[in-house]
Amino acid sequence: MKLTLSDHLFVLTGAGVSAESGLATFRGDGGLWRNYRAEEVANIAAWRRDPRLVWEFYSMRRRKALAAKPNPAHVALAEIEQQLGDRFFLCTQNVDSLHEQAGSERVHHIHGELMKTKCDSCAREPFPDESTYDEGTALPKCDCGGTLRVNVVWFGEMVSGMERVAYELQRSTAFVAIGTSGVVEPVASFVRALPHRNTLYIGPEKPANADAFSEYMLGPAAEMVPWLAQTFFTAKDDGS
């Protein structure tokens, strides 16, 4: 992986980055909530059937996210962004706001944002909202009569802002994926849509699409990403 100040760097982050801040992924084995798998609660059919249950799930996730703090991986990415400015683009699958809390400004939440709410009926702009709606509280309503829902992309829904993402992939000269399993589409295919092969994967284990990367570094993101930032800043000092 070659990374210099003149690079356009595209960074993709996944659940592995938030997990090190104590936010569980609610996916796979051990990801159960009240005997439901996340996939059973995080979809439009569940919302239509039982919106209260879905809000209880996201209320729990909002409380956990509010208590979480950015880890050294988030901080190191914010530091790299400070150096690269508009040549840096961060696409995250995470719905928490830990990247923003660490100081990142160019963050695209392809799976939406936990701390925003939108209407399930009208096209009003999603708005910041840390409220929780638990058992016994009324479901929040929009002025249009629709029910307000969390602004995350549910299973079966379209991801957000693919045009911008495609543009940033095309103009990138370096690509780093961190803590993402390489299974969920469309993000798993980003590494194959690049005009270059300057690619690096960082995470605790090999992703399903490991063969598409020119390099990978296995280990915790909270240790590896600061190392990457340090390498980058050293290269800068050398004038390379």
- Where do contacts with Zn ion occur on this chain (CB under 5 A)? 119, 121-122, 142, 144, 146
Task: Tell me the C-alpha distance between 190 and 150, whole Å.
Answer: 26
For Zn ion, the closer of residues 45 and 122 by Cβ is 122
Min separation Cβ 208 and Zn ion, Å: 39
Min separation Cβ 120 and Zn ion, Å: 8
For Zn ion, the closer of residues 31 and 146 by Cβ is 146
Question: Helix, strand, or coil here: 169?
Answer: helix
150 has which bridge partners? 117
Q: Where are the beta strands (DSSP E) in 80-125?
A: 88-92, 107-109, 112-119
For Zn ion, the closer of residues 141 and 236 by Cβ is 141
For Zn ion, the closer of residues 148 and 228 by Cβ is 148
Helices (H), 31-188: 38-41, 44-49, 51-67, 72-84, 98-101, 162-171
Active-site annotation holds for 111: yes
Task: Tell me the C-alpha distance between 114 and 175, whole Å.
Answer: 26
Peptide bond into 204 cis (omega under 30): no
Q: Which one of 8, 109, 111, 196 is the catalytic residue?
A: 111
Min separation Cβ 144 and Zn ion, Å: 3
Min separation Cβ 124 and Zn ion, Å: 5
Specify the amino acid at residue 132: T
Name the one residue in this structure whose structure tokens are 């009003």. 124
Phi, psi of 12 (to 5 degrees): -115, 125
Asked if 84 and 7 count as a contact pair (C-beta separation under 8 A), the reply is yes
Min separation Cβ 20 and Zn ion, Å: 37
What is the DSSP code (8-state) at residue 85?
G
> Which residues are tagged catalytic?
111
